[in-house]
Amino acid sequence: MESEDTAITVTGKVKWFDPGKGFGFVLRDGGGDDVLLHANVLRNFGQGSVVEGAAIEMIVVTTPRGCQADRILSITPPDHASLVPLADMEAVTAEDIARCPLEPARIKWFDKAKGFGFANVFGSDDDIFVHVEVLRRSGLSDLATGEAIAMRVMPGKRGRMAIEVLTWDAGLKL
């Protein structure tokens, strides 16, 4: 990338990010050119995906090909009011979620097109349901088979379900 003296701190919202393509774009707060967000920069932050509408603070450099994120400083999931409510979560408060312990888990499979998948807590074969809306509330958009995560789990109408999903790195920091 460019030298440090051309790097600036930029805030914005994720316009879109496609893990399959390996990139996406961020709309700058206050306008200006969109910023390219490459999958490697996101992975260096500890995430494999990011949901549309998430607030992001990043170091941006200008290259001959345009503005690119060089390093992510923070990502904040979108406001929950803009997300689709889940019947299993209607009566759940932020305090209820915080009281659930973080559990280390691995993604068994996740299909974004179907909108759900399953994870297994380390040391257990029991399936934990993971809904795409829970990912969005957590600031993620997709999960890869075998990906290590940290999650909070609650009983749902059809069994245990993830109520919050964090990247493995983020879970270790808490």
Model pTM?
0.69
HSE of 31 in the Cβ direction (CA atoms, 13 Å)?
0
Which CATH code, of 2.40.50.140, 3.40.50.1110, 3.90.1150.10, 1.10.1740.10, is assigned to 80-173?
2.40.50.140
> How far apart are alpha carbons 140 and 5 in whole angstroms?
31
User: Could you give the count of Cα atoms lying within 13 Å of 65 in the half-sphere of its Cβ?
Assistant: 6
Cite the residue boundaries of each domain of the chain with CATH code 2.40.50.140.
Answer: 4-76, 80-173
How do the pLDDT tens digits run along the chain, 174 residues long?
A: 444 458 999 999 999 998 889 999 999 999 999 999 999 999 899 888 898 889 999 999 999 989 999 999 999 888 755 445 566 677 777 788 888 899 999 999 999 889 899 999 999 989 999 998 888 888 888 899 999 999 999 988 878 999 999 888 776 665
CATH superfamily to which 4-76 belongs: Nucleic acid-binding proteins (2.40.50.140)
H-only helix segments in the chain? 39-45, 94-99, 132-137, 168-173
Least Cα distance to 51 among 14, 10, 26, 84 occurs for 14
The single residue listed with the structure tokens 């503005």 is 67
